[in-house]
């Protein structure tokens, strides 16, 4: 065999082996697929939500239980943060702290983001299972969906597996759930295979009158991704909400939107504005549906009470922005809402948003 032909053959075999390896290491979820649902009540079936009830909802990015004693490489704009992973002791402590807050609040529905499962940097633990073991008596039902998953990520800060989920806990019956893919950031094809795949986890609660309540849990791409990905993701979220309205489905959407409400961009120090747009992409949602915290909340005299983010940046001494929100159908009524700040500042770089909403009667 001639030498050039032999080299071409070696190259083809090498490319084929690389393609097989790449296929095995990476995750390619469908755009729309069923999500895992579990309901395990000790005394028969979990209760079914009824019209007229008041529903307490919490959304919280628990930052994979890492806590606030770190500045991770991705926490600084230039990627120079010195830390790569939390200690096992901090993971255990923050797991107990998250469980403590949930048990104290006892919301009917809990939306969690950045829940690790099988990630090297958090000791490969299933954080949802560990948390459920501590709150199983409160939440017989749960749903979950990955939005980042790979057997190996070649980034030097990781250099191992990742697994990150959205998770929803419910006191009430869940009859199904689905994972809906969101638009992904642009980039080179191979590098995209190892990046998060933002998604919406939609869980469906039956109502005793035959209607359903759809609860959507999400985390949008961070503001540093560039391009128009956040605008496209917000459009996809709004399209789903509008579809629920058109078909008569009650709904609540919550999560870490990685975007600012009205007026906060101008209040941030100049060096903290860079990841955001002066005109928030979130406008497309707040102009269409009620939002918690509302723009009135975050621009009033007590606006600091509505901050939900305390970045792991040494230049920042406390919560200074709002990135976590609940949106809901106009057919639901806001009773009260708040951000739990005082005893959560060291658990995560986000604080939980908590609201009580009334499920209206048919025709109201």
Exposed e or buried b for every residue in 228-253, given b needs 16+ CB within 10 A? ebbbbbbbbbbebbeebbeeebbbbb
Q: What percent of the chain has pLDDT over 70?
A: 89
| pLDDT value at residue 17 | 46
Q: Confidence class of residue 19 from pLDDT cuts 50, 70 and 90? A: very low
pLDDT at 20: 46
What is the number of other CB atoms lying within 10 angstroms of the CB of residue 227?
Answer: 12
Average pLDDT, rounded, for the chain:
91
User: Exposed e or buried b for every residue in 331-355, given b needs 16+ CB within 10 A?
Assistant: bbeeeebebbbeebeebbbbbbbbb
pLDDT score of 363? 61
What confidence tens digit (pLDDT) does each residue in 255-267 have?
A: 999 999 999 999 9
Token couple for 24: 């095995």
Banded model confidence at residue 194, pLDDT cuts 50, 70, 90:
confident
pLDDT tens digits, 289-316: 999 999 999 999 999 999 999 999 999 9
Distance, in Å, from the CA atom of 262 to the CA atom of 248, rounded to the nearest integer, reads 29
pLDDT tens for residues 71-118?
Answer: 999 999 888 999 999 999 999 999 999 999 999 999 999 999 999 999
Taking a C-beta distance cutoff of 8 angstroms, is the pair 314, 304 a contact? no
Rounded CA-CA distance 200/180 in Å is 5
Gap between the Cα atoms of 123 and 164, Å rounded: 13
Could you give the domains of the chain? 30-359 (3.60.10.10)
At residue 323, what are phi and psi to the nearest 5 degrees? -130, -5
DSSP secondary structure letters along 287-305: TTS-EES-HHHHHSTTGGG
Provide the CA 93 distance to its chain's centre, in angstroms. 21
pLDDT at residue 70 greater than cutoff 50: yes
Nearest to 180 by CA among 282, 253, 285: 253
Residue 351 has pLDDT above 50, yes or no: yes
| Band of residue 18 on the pLDDT scale cut at 50, 70, 90 | very low
Q: Residue 8: its pLDDT value, please?
A: 57
Pairing state of beta strands 32-34 and 176-181? antiparallel
pLDDT at 279: 92
Output the six-digit token pair for 163: 């697994």
What is the pTM (predicted TM-score) of this model? 0.93
Residue 161 to residue 25: CA distance in whole angstroms: 9
How many residues belong to the chain?
364
pLDDT exceeds cutoff 90 at 42: no
DSSP labels for 170-215? Answer: ESS---EEEEEEPPPPP--HHHHHTS---EEEEEEEEBTTS-EEEE
Query: Is the per-residue pLDDT at 144 higher than 70?
Result: yes
Mean pLDDT, rounded, for 150-171 = 95
């Amino acid at each position: 065999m001639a030498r050039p032909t032999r080299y071409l053959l070696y190259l083809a075999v090498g490319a084929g082996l690389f393609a097989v390896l790449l296929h095995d290491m990476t995750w390619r979820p469908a755009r729309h697929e069923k999500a895992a649902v579990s309901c395990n009540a000790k005394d028969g079936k979990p209760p079914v939500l009824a019209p007229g009830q008041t529903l307490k909802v919490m959304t919280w990015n628990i930052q994979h239980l890492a806590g606030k004693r770190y500045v991770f490489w991705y926490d600084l704009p230039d990627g120079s943060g010195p830390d790569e992973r939390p200690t096992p002791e901090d993971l255990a402590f923050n797991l107990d702290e998250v469980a403590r807050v949930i048990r104290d609040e006892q919301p009917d529905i809990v939306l969690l983001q950045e829940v690790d499962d099988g990630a090297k940097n958090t000791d490969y633990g299933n954080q949802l299972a560990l948390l459920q073991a501590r709150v199983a008596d409160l939440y017989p039902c749960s749903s979950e969906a990955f939005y980042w998953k790979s057997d190996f990520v070649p980034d030097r800060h990781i250099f191992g597996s990742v697994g990150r989920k959205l998770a929803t806990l419910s006191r009430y019956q869940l009859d199904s759930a689905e994972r809906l893919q969101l638009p992904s950031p642009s980039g080179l094809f191979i590098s995209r295979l190892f990046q998060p795949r933002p998604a919406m986890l939609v869980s469906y609660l039956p109502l005793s009158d035959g209607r359903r309540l759809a609860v959507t849990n999400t985390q949008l791409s961070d503001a540093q991704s560039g391009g128009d990905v956040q605008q496209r993701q917000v459009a996809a979220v709004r399209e789903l909400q509008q579809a629920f309205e058109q078909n008569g489905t009650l709904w609540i959407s919550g999560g870490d939107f990685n975007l600012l409400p009205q007026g906060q961009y101008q209040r941030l120090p100049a060096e903290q504005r860079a990841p955001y747009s002066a005109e928030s992409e979130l406008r497309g949602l707040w102009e269409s549906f009620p939002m918690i915290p509302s723009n009135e909340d975050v621009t009033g005299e007590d606006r600091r009470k509505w901050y939900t983010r305390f970045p792991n940046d040494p230049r920042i001494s406390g919560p200074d922005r709002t990135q976590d929100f609940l949106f809901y159908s106009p057919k639901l009524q806001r009773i009260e809402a708040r951000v739990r700040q005082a005893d959560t500042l060291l658990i995560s770089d986000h604080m939980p948003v908590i609201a009580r909403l009334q499920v209206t009667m048919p025709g109201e």
